[in-house]
Structure 1
Amino acid sequence: MLASNSPRRRQLLTDLGLTYEVRLQEVDESFSEHLRRAEVAEYLAAHKAQAYRAGLAADEVVLTADTIVCLEDDVLNKPADEAEAIRMLTRLQGRAHDVFTGVCLLTGGGQQVVFSDQTRVHFRALTPTEIEFYVRQYRPLDKAGAYGAQDWIGMVAVTRLEGSYFNVMGLPVHRVWEELTKLMGGLLPA
């Protein structure tokens, strides 16, 4: 089961060849200020999974994930509005930042695996006009750091990645596959 409204996560799991159902619940996404970087992503993924624990059948696995963008130690979550999105992108332009995706796999039998993946993203300098165009045209208000690497801005601004591109999209599929394989005792038929 996928507990995410992200079309990108759905597409990535489909592309992996996994069969799943989407279930959604509202979960508070606040976190303690003492958590840093990857800890935030892992905490949020694990916290979301707990909302599904009671409803899991014995043979079910729920996958929850949370992606954050960090500029040094500042966590840039989803912007509240266009003005905040413009401020975030203005801070990110011309600099490198880190994207962390925390993932939690929780089984109906009570097994839980929590992990995160990190990707370093390098942005070229952007003009205010480019930033405003992107925010107004693509409305990235549902994206951590106010951008999607698969969008226009990813094509024109991302100069280099160190780590998984799919992690920046919202799901480190290589790690998800690896951990699901361990948890399930293999995913592909022998």
Structure 2
Amino acid sequence: MNTLILASQSPRRKQLLEQVNLSFSIEPSIVEEQMNKEDTPEEIVVSLAHQKAYDVFSRFPHNVVLGADTIVVIDNQILGKPQNEKEAKEMLQRLSGRTHQVFTGVSIISEERTESFYVRSDVTFFTLTEEEISAYLRTKDSMDKAGAYGIQGIGATLVERIDGDFFAIMGLPIAKVVRILEKFHIKSDH
């Protein structure tokens, strides 16, 4: 039986894998992520996921390694994790009342094969008041998340609708991942 390693410290990705009864260990990637600014968001997010997975695979080559990355895009610009509250506020103001894209890239690597893909979801925010933005910022939920919000927590109150995979927006398109892991002989314990 192959051993699955999650190349991420994301509590959300860990939670999603546990939710579907997958056995895995966590070994965070330590790679310095490289982004080619001329690539499309789709190419960038798959490349980032692959870099993470390959970094861990190079240290644990007899395992199956899962790497993932999520980016938020509006007006063809990637919104990363905010560096401070001011930046988080600017991001939320920009997303307010508009639709943006969330891309989650996944790369799964073993000795026998590599599978990489991305999932795109469209997220529409309500028009947010200054008070709503300030209240959300006070929760500190925005600080470690691309685009300055997390859809799975209190940030869900900012979202008017989604068109796509909720779990991909959260950080991992779990249904698709489970199906692809079966090709690597990784199955959930249910």
Report the TM-score, using the length of structure 1 for normalisation: 0.92
**What residue identity is the alignment partner of 1:55?**
R
Specify the SS of the correspondent of 1:132: helix
**What residue identity is the alignment partner of 1:80?**
Q
Contact 1:2–1:20 under 8 Å retained in 2: yes
Contact 2:20–2:188 under 8 Å retained in 1: no
Contact 1:82–1:136 under 8 Å retained in 2: no
**What residue identity is the alignment partner of 1:25?**
S
- Matches of 2:188 and 2:101, distance apart in 1: 32
TM-superposed CA distance for 1:27, in Å, is 2.0
> Which of residues 17, 22, 32 in structure 1 aligns to 2:21?
17
Partner of 1:72: 75
Aligned residues: 185
- Matches of 2:137 and 2:40, distance apart in 1: 27
- Matches of 1:80 and 1:138, distance apart in 2: 12
Runs of 4+ in 1 over 2 A off after TM superposition: 186-189
Instruction: List runs of 5+ in structure 2 lacking aligned partners.
Output: none
Partner of 2:116: 114
Q: Between 84-93 and 30-39, report the one with greater CA deviation.
A: 30-39
Partner of 1:174: 175
Partner of 1:34: 38
> Which of residues 2, 21, 27 in structure 1 aligns to 2:6?
2
Instruction: List runs of 5+ in structure 1 lacking aligned partners.
Output: none
Contact 1:123–1:159 under 8 Å retained in 2: yes
Counterparts of residues 84-123 of structure 1 (less than 5 Å): 84-107=87-110, 109-123=111-125
- Matches of 1:100 and 1:74, distance apart in 2: 12
Specify the SS of the correspondent of 2:109: strand
Report the TM-score, using the length of structure 2 for normalisation: 0.92
> Which of residues 138, 148, 151 in structure 2 aligns to 1:149?
151
Q: 1:54 to 1:27 in 2, by over 3 A?
A: closer
TM-superposed CA distance for 1:54, in Å, is 2.3
